[in-house]
Structure 1
Amino acid sequence: MIEIISPSRLPRAREAGALVGDILHTARTRCTVGTNLLEIDGWARSMIEDAGATSCYVDYAPSFGRGPFGHHICTSVNDAVLHGLPSDRTVADGDLVTLDLAVSLGGVVADAAVSFVVGSPRPEDLALIDTTERALAAGIAAAVPGNRLGDVSHAIGTVLTGDGYPVNTEFGGHGVGSTMHQDPHVANTGRPGRGYALRPGLLLALEPWVMVGTDRLVTDADGWTLRSATGSLTAHSEHTVAVTQDGVEVLTLPPHLRG
């Protein structure tokens, strides 16, 4: 079922989105060489609890995982790209880190992810992240009333494939609302003019992600962390957006980018 929120719930969605943006920004700022992934999980837990919110990941137990997840944020490093289970690992200079967070506040969920390099970045790592960020921006620009899901997927996929990255279609964006993962599925490639017609009140988590040289994933022994099958680097960018009467509103911006 596709959930359409009422105009009265949009302020709650904005609050949830702002919290996600704040937590990800804070964790990114604090994360330095030597930071432990469990520290990041602790920071997220503290900020979520202080806000009176709940993490959507603690009790998350889908069919593809070895649940429940049991942590508050996903922490993926280098060749890991999705559902990175926080572990007793410290971040090294040059590591490419992805943080993915979904919280529920006031009965509405917001979901976002950010990739960044800790310490000294390589140009090719920054280019990989830039591709996902530009693909996300293209998807957001297409998520307006009257367009269709295929328009969003096509906009994302055009950037990803145009930069030479293969696209995995097992995991992509999705609807959010009162729960974290809802219909519709938003693939990271698609045909324009096809699929569900976007309408005001629809909340979408758009999340382009790529792996260098492959579209195939493998699962860690922890039952959760998804990695590039070839050990290549990965990146993942995500925002929750609201389709509105006037266009589209990004709900999960970091504090310095909010108006």
Structure 2
Amino acid sequence: MTHPINQQIVLVTGAGRGLGAAIARAFLREGATVVLNYLHSETAARALAADAPGRAIALQADVTDPQAVAAMLSAARRALGRPVTTVVNNALPDFRFDGDARPRPEALDWARMNQQMQGVLGGALHVVQAALPGMREAGGGRVINIGTNLFQNPVVPYHDYTAAKAALLSLTRTLANDLGPDGITVNMVSGGLLRTTDASAATPEAVFDLIAANTPLRQVTTPAQFADAVLFFASPWSRAVTGQNLIVDGGLVKG
């Protein structure tokens, strides 16, 4: 599938706020039809959908629940008349980038690790599984997973979040191999700390300053800047790119 973005139906998970909302706005700006998934942020998601009448729909689903995800994809198809063919797996389980307030290794329990695995890895798997029939029917599709540069540069060692995102990179590459014959590309876009989302609002100012000072662009990447890079993997220009991880952090981390 090499359709222009303005001919695509795009699902963005966790689109009610933060980075997800910025990604949804970027797709809407380029003319796509967007399914705005949310868990708790109904008011914000519906307000964003109202900004693009006829081209956006807000649907609630917990991505850790495969039945809820399947029902969401079915509802989107009924409402829009065509299947979703591009998915952005952005939804993040409850998490705050709170610096020194994070659990230290001796206090970190498996329940916290498992929460991130279920949300980040399980959520992405459920969305891909539910979207696959529609992508195959359409002759191809795009899967874009949202990662992090923290497993290359753990400037703050968020063990649970980073491990789940590292597992998602592995799934990105194995899915790319399995789904390539179907014309489905699977890629990851990885950011660093973003200035600012709900999750990063708890980050101490000193951490923002440290990252900016060590980044070639001397600034912390914004959600809008990051969202623009996501568009590449949905566009026809990326039709020969799959299984890749693009780091979008102003040059802080290389490769």
TM-score after normalising by structure 1: 0.30
Q: Which has the higher strand share?
A: 1
Higher relative CO (Cα under 8 Å, sequence separation at least 6) belongs to 1
